[in-house]
Structure 1
C-alpha cells in the first residue's frame, strides 16, 4: 500500500506493518525509538511493526509504502532493513540507486513490485556496508540480535548465545566489539531498556508490571536501572515524552540554528534568544534531543559543507561561507568530525 503525508510536529505515528518511508522533500529532525535523526530529502528509512515516527522540527513530505508479512518473509535478508542493530536502516537515493527519484516518488507497488523493491533495497544496503563487515559477519550480528530479542526476560550469557548461533564464544564477542562496539551484555541491556521505554511511553502498565514483564524480580531494581540509563524516573519519562504539542522549544532552537549556524556565536546567544539560562538550555537539549548545542551546530555546518562541496563550490568559498577564516581551519574541522578530508569529498 502507498500513501503520502506531511507529518505534523510532535504527532506520533505508530506503524503496525513493515514500512518504507521515502522522504520526498524537506529537512529536519525526527525521532524513532527515542533516538533523534537529522535527515533531508531523497532518503529511504525502514521501520518495523511497533516502531514510531515523530517529527521534532522542520518539515517533510513523505511517501509511505507498507509491506505484508508474507512479502517481507519472501525477501531474503529483509531483516537487514527492518531489524535495526544500533540505528535506523536507511538508503540515500542521491547515490547510484535502482530507481530514479521522479519515478520512485509516484511508484505504486503490486506484490511483485514490493518484492523487487525490497530486493533492490537490500542490495543497496549491503553495498553501503554500514558496519564495514563481511557477509558472514553481518549474518552473525543479526543472528545474535534476533536471539537476544526473543529472550529479553531471561539472563543472556555469551556461552548460551554462541551455542545457539553455532559459533565459538570468542568469535561472537570479537565481531560484536569490532563492528558494533558492543558486548552481549550491553546489547541485551540496550534492547531491554528500549522495550521498557516503549511500554512506559505507550501503555498504561504500572512500573511493577513493566519490570516483571522484562524479567526484573524487584521493581525497585528496575526503577534504579531505568533512571541510571535515562537520567529520568519512569513517571518523568512518560510525562516528558508526551509533552504538549504547543511546546515549541525544539522548533525554536532549530530555527535559531538554521538562521545563525554560519556565525561564531556562543551558547549564551542562543540561551538569551530563548529567554533561558545556559544551564536550562543544555538540560532541555539533553532531555529532548539527547545532545548538546555544540553538536547540533557542528552537524548543521557539516551538512551545509557537504551540500556546497557536492554542488561544485570550492573549498575556499565553502570555508568562507561557513565562517572559517582559513581553509585549513575548515579542513581540520571537517576531518575531525567525519574522518575524511573535504578534498576527498570534492574528488568523489
Structure 2
C-alpha cells in the first residue's frame, strides 16, 4: 500500500505509469480497453487519483474497480462514471473490451458553457462513483457515439477538439437517460443540490492538488455558492431530508475513510491533511460519525468479517 494516494494532474502523467500507450491529448482521450495492456491482470493496481472525469463502457471481459469506499465487479454491458476526487483502483483485469473516455476539467471549462455541465449530470457527483446497466437499445446508441468520437479524435480534422466538446455533451445526455433508467426517482429540478455537490467535490479536487488551506465547513460551501448557510440548509433539507451540515460531515468522513483504507497515512497525517485542529479532534469527529475510532476502522477495513 502506498503512503499517500498518487495524484495525476493530466492524462500524460497517468498513462506513463499505467500503460505503454500515449494519450492523444493531455486533457482528452478515448481508448479501447482491448488496446490497453492488462498490466494489472494478476495483481491489484495501486490506488490513485486522476484529474479527469472518466466514463467506461464495457462490452466484454471483466475486472474489479474500487471507487473510494465501494468495490464494483464490472462486466459486459455496464457503464461506469468516476470523477477527479475519487480514489480509483483497477484489479483482476480479464480480457476487458469496450471504450474508456477521459476528459479533464481544463478541457471542459475552456468553453463558456462547460461550467454548467456537471451540475446537470448527477452521476458525476456521487460519493463512490456510479455503475449503470443500460438497456440494449441504449447500449447500441452509446457504442455508436463512442465509435464516432474515437474516429474523430484520431482524424486530421482541424476543428476536431471543438467538435468533440459538443459530441461529449450529446453523449452525456444519453448517459443521463441511461442513468435515469436505473434511478427513476431522480429529479431534474434539484439545481441547488447539484450546485452544492459541485462545490463540495471541488473542495476535494483543490485539496488533492495542495491548493486548499481551509477546513471543509458548511460556511465555506455556502460562501462558495453565495448563499446564507441557513437558507442553503433549508433548501437541502427539503430535497434530501438532511441538513447541509449533515451532508458536509458525511462527505468529510467519506474522504477520511478512503484515506484510511487506501493509504498508509497515519491517523495524525489524515487529520492534518483534512485540516482538523489536532488528532484528538479528528478522532472524536470520526468516532461520532462512524461509531469506531480511525485506527479500529482501518483494522476492520484490512480484515473484513
CA distance in 1, matches of 2:236, 2:42: 36
Tell me the equivalent position of 2:166.
116
TM-score normalized by the length of structure 1: 0.54
- Residue equivalent to 1:194: 254
Q: Any conservation in 2 of the 1:156–1:184 contact (CA below 8 Å)?
A: no
1:222 CA drift (Å): 2.0
Please, which runs of 5 or more residues in structure 2 have no aligned partner? 1-28, 154-160, 207-211
In 2: Cα distance, 1:196 partner to 1:211 partner: 8
Partner of 1:182: 242
Cα offset, 1:86, TM superposition: 4.2
Task: Name 1:66's counterpart in structure 2.
Answer: 102
Contact 2:55 2:102 in 1 (8 A): yes
Matching of residue 43 in structure 1 with residue 78 in structure 2: yes
Aligned residue runs from structure 1 range 202-221, under 5 A: 202-221=262-281
Residue 89 (structure 2) pairs with residue 53 (structure 1):
yes
Q: State the SS of the aligned residue for 1:100.
A: helix
Q: TM-score, normalized by length of structure 2?
A: 0.60
Shift of 1:134: 0.9
2:215 pairs, out of 145, 151, 154, with: 154
Tell me, in whole angstroms, the C-alpha distance in 2 between the residues paired with 1:71 and 1:147. Answer: 16
Q: Paired residue for 1:16?
A: 50
- Conserved in 1, the CA contact under 8 Å of 2:67 and 2:89? yes
Higher relative contact order (CA 8 A, sep 6+): 2
Please, what is the CA RMSD of the aligned residues?
4.1
Q: Provide closer, same or farther for how the CA distance between residues 103 and 163 of structure 1 changes in structure 2, counting only shifts above 3 A.
A: closer
Q: Deviations over 1:227-249 (max 9, x none)?
A: 45455554455566567xxxxxx
CA positional deviation for 1:35: 1.9
Counterparts of residues 182-331 of structure 1 (less than 5 Å): 182-230=242-290, 233-235=293-295, 237-238=297-298, 241=301, 284=305
Aligned length, in residue pairs: 244
Q: Distance in 2 between matches of 1:45 and 1:70?
A: 21
Shift of 1:115: 1.9
Report the secondary structure of 1:77's partner residue: helix
Matched, 1:77 2:77: no
Q: How many angstroms does 1:148 deviate by?
A: 5.8
Deviations 1:301-330 (A, max 9, x none): xxxxxxxxxxxxxxxxxxxxxxxxxxxxxx
The answer (yes or no) to whether the contact 1:77–1:122 under 8 Å persists in 2 is no
Which 4+ residue blocks in structure 1 deviate beyond 6 angstroms? 56-59
DSSP 3-state at the match of 1:205: coil
Q: Deviations over 1:189-208 (max 9, x none)?
A: 22222332343344443321
Residue aligning to 2:189: 134
* 1:143–1:165 contact (8 Å) kept in structure 2: no
**Structure 1 residue 33: Cα displacement:** 0.6
C-alpha contact 1:15 1:47 (8 A) present in aligned 2 = no
